[in-house]
Amino acid sequence: MATTTTLAKAAHGTEPAAYAARIEHVSKSFAGPAGQQLVLDDITLDVAPGEFVTLLGASGCGKSTLLNLVAGLDRPSAGAISTDGRPALMFQEHALFPWLTAGKNIELALRLRGVAKSERRDKAEELLELVRLKGAYGKRVHELSGGMRQRVAMARALAQESKLLLMDEPFAALDAITRDVLHDELTRIWRETRLSVLFVTHNVREAVRLAERVVLLSSRPGRVAREWTVGIEHPRRIEDTAVAELSVEITEELRGEIRRHGQH
């Protein structure tokens, strides 16, 4: 099968893309001591414009590998990936430059996007206000809490003005209360901007709280095992009964996948 990674860029005046990301029969192998190790096997998945999709699965199932392929950081061994423009990527670690202020970290992304120097500070201030960090432009990274650093990282990702935001367990290292607050903030920003989001997590309740659709990958090699449409109205709380009930169902399916593949 041909292997391609493309950016679908609609010309001015044409119909918008029918998808934010399209993953078609994608497989990925890596060289190992015993030869080629298949990590992802025949993944087919679309993310619609404005859709919030979470990728869920056991550790090592290939979630982050798939996200890296969509981001263009690696190429699939087989299959094709198309995105509507270049995605923005947010990692578990904030990856901010410690010698720059919060505002200058955001300005760096704006500069790389080609925004004029005279406009960068105003745009950086606007993005900080969007993530509820008004007044933090001049703060150094060491002056920010973990949650504040992730907000700056989110603002820097939004500065790229991508239509697709890829998030690789961005809240995993945070305490439960901070993570809960950032769930609210991410939901608010997603609903205000109508970005498409592809969010990797191993936390079932996080997946259900945030997503419109949850996609479960099987244990290695990762395959699409099952999908759920989350019909729970926003605002959602992680302790909501409907969130808890769907989380139990998905957790049972996840346990079954782990048992079937002999992982513990």
Please say if the pLDDT value at position 13 is more than 60.
no
Q: pLDDT tens, 180-193?
A: 999 999 999 999 99
Token pair, residue 78, equals: 């087989």
Residue 225 has pLDDT above 70, yes or no: yes
- Please tell me the predicted confidence (pLDDT) of residue 220: 80
Q: Which of 7-11, 49-53, 150-154, 193-197 has the lowest mean pLDDT?
A: 7-11
Buried b (16+ CB within 10 A) or exposed e, 164-188: bbbbbbbbeebeeebbbebbebbbe
| Structure tokens, 22 | 């399209």
Rg, the chain, Cα only: 19
Mean pLDDT, residues 145-164: 92
pLDDT averaged over every residue in the chain: 89
Confidence of residue 264 (pLDDT cuts 50, 70, 90): very low
How would residue 12 be classed by pLDDT, with cut points 50, 70 and 90?
very low
Q: What is the pTM of this model?
A: 0.89
Higher-pLDDT residue of 264 and 203 is 203
**Mean pLDDT value across residues 199-227:** 94
User: pLDDT category, 258, cuts 50, 70, 90?
Assistant: confident
Q: Reply yes or no on whether the pLDDT at 69 is more than 70.
A: yes
Contact by Cβ (8 Å): 108, 97: yes
